[in-house]
Structure 1
Amino acid sequence: MPDDLIGKVISIISGGEEPDSEKKTLLKLVVKEISQNKYAKFFRLKSEEIDPSFAAYIYEIYKIVYPACAFVQNTAKLSRVKHISVEAFMDKGTLELARKLRPEVVQERVKAQEPKVVSAQLKEDLNSFVAVFDSKRIANINRCYNLNTALIQFAQFNFLSILRRFDTGLPEGNGPYTPRFQPAKAADLIEELRQFRAVIQHLEPGDDWKNALTILKIARDGQELIPLNQWNMLLMNLREFKNSNIIELIGQYTTKNPVWRVKSEPIDEQLAENWLEAKRSDVQGVIDRIVTSQRNGQIETLATAVFGTPEVTRLQYYNQETTDACNDIGLDGFLYAGAMNYLTAFVQDFLSKEMQELCDILLVRGQWIINSQSMEMSNAIHTINDATESAADLDLLLSETGTFGPRFSQALVQADRNKTQARFIDHVAGELDETALTLINTAVQSLVVVGKHMKNLLGDTQKSPPELIINWKELGYFTKVPISQRITEAYKKINYFVQLMLLLTHPESA
């Protein structure tokens, strides 16, 4: 094309105004190219019609690919292509791992084994499975699947729609029928021509179609879709057809737009990565459910051991009920409501009652050899009590007269339809959660100190001579229950409670 005409084409593409005479000049070049094209017979320039020979060409293609056209209508079989495309590149060992990670097999494993055992095995199997998929294997899977995607898109082209523009009585399928094709207006077929040109863009005879067609054969329950030799011959023919640019030329002349082009989206599906991520997500979901179930069971057992019931509520606002209200509108609510209520109940029901009486005996009446140790235990108990008082103050922030209370209650009513109110709830919950976690951690650290002393004191009751308190015999007079028994029960309850708090604030410890 001469330089001045190239400049004109660029001007048209960029939106510049072109005189009709210049456009006509470009269209004359299009006419010349059509007349010299190998497929010139497909287009009648004078009448701007598509010749019946083009319909015959498409019909021959349709008869070859009809089994594929029928196959892509079967969504159940078509959906298997992804799975088969991945498994086709697995060896025997990898296939066995894949079988063990199938949902139905995983569920059977969960029923048959201890939660910890099956969880650990699933993690190991999943890691081993993912490790098999190196970059080369992933590239081969994606390449093969993208070939089949191109073939499926081609088979999904509505051949009947375009063919019935030339013969309205054409039946579906590739059975015996002698078509009576008539010319058709090119302007009426521009969209079908564009679509046909787009779906053949990524079909190339040099690609590895043997593996691709084998995968489709498996998906079709062992029935061959298209013989490989026939398919390769068709691809060579289509490559020649594409390279002729006859569709583009017909489109340019018919639309009187010399820069008319067919755009085709690239096919670049990351099947292997997406499939592995889905597999990882499915298996990890099972592992997470096992861990969550196990954790919830541990929480229920520990809470029952400490309180006699798994459900405890002491705070009026910062509690599970308010969190449930937040969950109902899609918000997280309070992360540490359960832990804070358990802590408050532990101090009120145990530390301030039976534990307080025991501590009075040990710390007030006991004659400690090293006073600093008794002071450490006493300070720890005071710290726990202070944390509980702070918990009550935190709870009051959500009361009707509290800093957040009135607006928080109103926000709960409006948050499902007002993002500003939802953000306010999240902000308040985050701020209170941060304070709550600090209080819980402080109390737990102090309880660990108390528990350590209880354990040491229990051992000291059996020593002769004692190393911590020298008047154990005298202390026994102040309690109806043997003091060693009371210390044992207190130590066990503190130990259970610390474990409970760790589970509620550090899920990874389950």
Structure 2
Amino acid sequence: MSLIEKILNIFVSIGDADRDKKRYLKEIKKDLKKRSRDCKVKGNTAEPALAKLFYDIYKEIGPAQILLESLQDSGAIRSIIVENFLTEKQLEVLDSLSEDNIRKRCKDNKNLKSLRDQIKTELIEIYTFFDMPLAKKINDLYSSLMVMQEFIRFDYFFLLKKFDSHLPERDYGYNPRFESINGEYIIDDLKDFDALLPLIDVDAEWDTILDLLSQYRSIDVISRDGWKKVLQIVKEFRKTKILKLVIVHLEENPSYKVISEFNTFEIVEDYLSGIKNSAENALMSIVGERKKSQRDTLLMAVFGTTSVVRLKYYTEKSNMAFSKRIDVGYLYVEPLNFLKAFYLDYYKGPIRQVVDKLLITGKWTTSLASQQFSESYHQLMTLSDDLLQFDNKLTEETDLGGKLKRLAKAADRDRNALDAMRNVLKGINSEALSILNESVQNLFAIGKNLKRCIDDYKAPKHELVVNWKEIEMMSELPILEEMAEIYKKIYYFLQLMQYYLKED
């Protein structure tokens, strides 16, 4: 063709897209006539031979549809895949970080800090197992498995039943009687399947994947020969491009293109995070259990019960009004409740009786020593009253309690009310903490002075109080026994408070 003829041909083609479309579809019809086993051009019918190809796939992978139904959501298969690449020694390190083994190790090692350090070292060691090449290999294998699952989950039965209305579901011994059908009935099915074909890596490590699936389900999910047969059909579909030709012909749409979405999965990082979180949660759980056990032991030693309820308004029940809106409420409910119980049960009873004997009846060698004892004692009296007033002012009938109730109701729709509620709660919690800290400090001083009195009573020569016999005469029980019992209660109570007022 001369240069002028080429130029004229270009101008003739411009604006004649319909002619080009017809010419393209005509070429496809010719191609399909050569493959009339699969799709006949006349009448646009899809032939039984096409259904047979899908049925050959369905027979091999249909049973796996149920077996692998929840595969994508399974953490077990991810663990199986990752651990498949670990050595026996590495698996031992991994096993040592299971919750059961961490608990066993806690029994052997009472020092939790030391155990934490060991677990931290082991976690670092596990992270070093997975370099970039190994992580990529694992992620690629899992990605191939997810593509396989999508391929298996394709609704072959729905497609095949259009060719044989009597086809029973999952009866793979049935001899189908496929008939020619209008190709328009299966266009959408063919498009969905055609989108899956490019995703399958026929050269992936399928033997390894099938081994892992067998381990996951404890049976052979798909036979190796069966999966090879399926891959061969996939290759044939790709090579002949028969599905694309059929779709283009039936839709009369030359611009049809396969749209496939290939998702890559990063399971190694999630797996490592899971191991780390599991180990840390196990340790936190053990710490919490130990704390609760020790707390309950101390509660029994102080109050004779683990059920101690004294506060009326600064309570967890009141916190429910705040927890729906913000993540904080009354922060010191438990320790403040125990403090009020201690004031009511001991300070205003046994402690007061013993301290009154020591300070009023006792003759101290120096006024400074008795004065320090007296100041702590009277300071606790004031704090006891402060605590009672603090709790009572949170009732809804008071200005503060009423304000909190109004703010809590308005907080859902008013940002300013929410911020104001936070500030009010912050002030209330600050006051609660102040009462706790001051009470603990003064109880410590009382305990310290009681210990000095106990030691002085036992000493051959009394250097602190000189009239122990007189004090003894005023006591129903031996004064040493009374002081020791009160000292023990204070000691246990201060230990209880340490769980709330100090970092672990």
CA shift, 1:399, in A, is 1.6
- Deviations 1:365-408 (CA, angstroms, capped at 9, x unpaired): 5546583x665555444544444333233213322431343465
The one of 329, 347, 350 aligned to 1:351 = 347
Q: Report the Cα distance in structure 2 between the residues aligned to 1:392 and 1:135, rounded to whole angstroms.
A: 59
Match of 2:489 among 484, 493, 498: 493
Residue 18 of structure 2 corresponds to residue 24 of structure 1? yes
Distance (whole Å) between structure 2 residues aligned to residue 386 and residue 36 of structure 1: 103
Match of 2:194 among 173, 194, 197: 197
How much has 1:436 moved relative to structure 2? 1.6
The equivalences for 1:13-412 within 5 A come to 24=18, 27-28=21-22, 31=25, 34=28, 41=35, 47-69=43-65, 71-72=67-68, 81-95=77-91, 128=122, 131-132=125-126, 134-136=129-131, 138-170=135-167, 172=170, 175=173, 177=175, 179-185=177-183, 187-223=184-220, 225-227=222-224, 231=227, 234-235=230-231, 238-239=234-235, 241-242=237-238, 247-248=243-244, 250-251=246-247, 254-255=250-251, 260-275=256-271, 277=273, 287-320=283-316, 322=318, 334-360=330-356, 367=364, 371=368, 377-406=373-402
Query: After the TM superposition, which of the residue ranges 87-96 and 204-213 deviates more from structure 2?
Result: 87-96
Change over 3 Å in CA distance of 1:442–1:348 after alignment to 2:
same
State the secondary structure of the residue aligned to 1:472. Answer: coil
Q: Find out whether 1:473 has 2:466 as its counterpart.
A: yes
2-side partners of 1:122 and 1:210: how far apart? Answer: 41
Instruction: State the percentage of identical aligned residues.
Output: 24
Distance in 2 (CA, whole Å) between partners of 1:485 and 1:321 is 40
Instruction: Name the CA distance, whole Å, in 2 between partners of 1:121 and 1:232.
Output: 53
Residue-by-residue CA offset, 1:108-141 (whole Å, 9 max, x unaligned): x77x995985989997679747843533455444
Give the CA deviation at 1:409. 6.1
Q: 382-391 vs 323-332, which deviates more?
A: 323-332
1:490 is displaced (CA, Å) by 3.1
**AA partner of residue 396 (structure 1):** N
In structure 2, what is the Cα distance between the partners aligned to 1:460 and 1:47?
Answer: 115
From 422, 428, 432, the equivalent of 1:432 is 428
* Partner SS, residue 473 of structure 1: coil
Instruction: For 1:346 and 1:78, locate their aligned partners in 2 and report how far apart those are by CA, in whole Å.
Output: 52
Shift of 1:215: 0.9
Shift of 1:95: 4.7
Q: CA deviation at 1:322?
A: 4.0
Q: Secondary structure at the match of 2:204?
A: coil
Rate the CA distance shift 1:66–1:352 in 2: closer, same or farther, 3 A: closer
TM-score (norm. length: structure 2): 0.73
Conserved? CA contact 1:339–1:501, under 8 Å: yes
Contact 1:313 1:319 in 2 (8 A): no
Would you say the 8 A contact 1:198–1:262 is kept in 2?
yes
Larger mean CA deviation between 116-125 and 85-94 belongs to 116-125
Aligned residues: CA RMSD:
4.9
Deviation track 1:277-335 (CA, whole Å, cap 9, x = no partner) reads 55665665555554444433332332232234333333321135545888899987634
Aligned residues: 478
AA partner of residue 153 (structure 1): E
Whole-Å separation in 2 of the counterparts to 1:455 and 1:283:
43
Deviation for aligned residue 1:87: 4.0
Contact 1:391 1:439 in 2 (8 A): yes
Q: Point out where structure 2 has 5 or more consecutive residues left out of the alignment.
A: 1-13
Are the structure 2 counterparts of residues 341 and 456 from structure 1 closer, same or farther at C-alpha, using a change threshold of 3 Å? same
Q: Secondary structure at the match of 1:268?
A: coil
Deviations 1:77-102 (A, max 9, x none): 98864453344334334555666777
Cα contact 1:300–1:310 (8 A) shared by 2: yes
CA contact (8 A) 2:123 2:276 kept: no
- In 1, distance between residues paired with 2:499 and 2:149? 51
Comparing 381-390 and 29-38, the one that deviates more: 29-38
Distance 1:25 1:433 in 2: 82
Asked whether the 8 Å contact 1:204–1:236 carries over to 2, the reply is no
SS of the counterpart of 1:313? coil
CA distance in 2, matches of 1:184, 1:122: 70
> Does the 8 A contact of 2:365 with 2:466 survive in 1?
no
CA contact 1:49–1:183 (8 Å) conserved in 2: yes
Q: Deviations over 1:13-55 (max 9, x none)?
A: xxxxxxx967636745863784697998355566444454433
Shift in Å at residue 208 of structure 1? Answer: 1.9
Shift of 1:192: 0.9
- What CA distance in whole angstroms lies between the structure 2 residues aligned with 1:487 and 1:59? 90
Q: Give the conservation status (yes or no) of the 8 Å contact 2:46–2:180.
A: no
Q: Distance in 2 between matches of 1:482 and 1:355?
A: 15
Letter in structure 2 aligned against 1:31? L
Length-normalised TM-score, structure 1: 0.72
Residues in 2 aligned to 1:143 and 1:323: alpha-carbon distance in whole angstroms: 49
Residues 94 and 132, structure 1, Cα contact 8 Å, conserved in 2: yes
Output the amino acid matched with 2:182.
A
Structure 1 residues 209 and 27, CA, compared in 2 at 3 Å: closer, same or farther?
A: same
Alignment gaps of 5+ in structure 1: 1-19
User: Are the aligned partners of 1:51 and 1:183 in contact in 2 as well (CA < 8 Å)?
Assistant: yes
- Deviation of 1:351 after TM superposition, in Å, equals 2.8
> 1:159: Cα distance to partner?
1.6
**Match for residue 6 of structure 1?**
none
Contact (CA 8 Å) 1:347, 1:388: kept in 2 or not?
yes
Q: Which secondary structure does the structure 2 equivalent of 1:201 belong to?
A: helix
Q: 8 Å contact 1:130–1:276 — kept in the other structure?
A: no
Matched residues in 2 for 1:231 and 1:31: separation?
Answer: 35
Output the CA distance in 2 between the equivalents of 1:213 and 1:120: 44
* Post-superposition offset of 1:154: 1.0
**Structure 2 SS opposite 1:314:** coil
Q: Matched residue of 2:341: which SS?
A: helix
Q: Is the 8 A contact 2:106 2:112 kept in 1?
A: no
Structure 1 pair 347/148, CA: closer, same or farther in 2 (3 Å)? same
User: Residue 34 of structure 1 contacts residue 246 of structure 1 at CA under 8 Å; is this kept in 2?
Assistant: no
SS in 1 for 2:198: coil
* Greater shift in the superposed pair: 234-243 or 325-334: 325-334
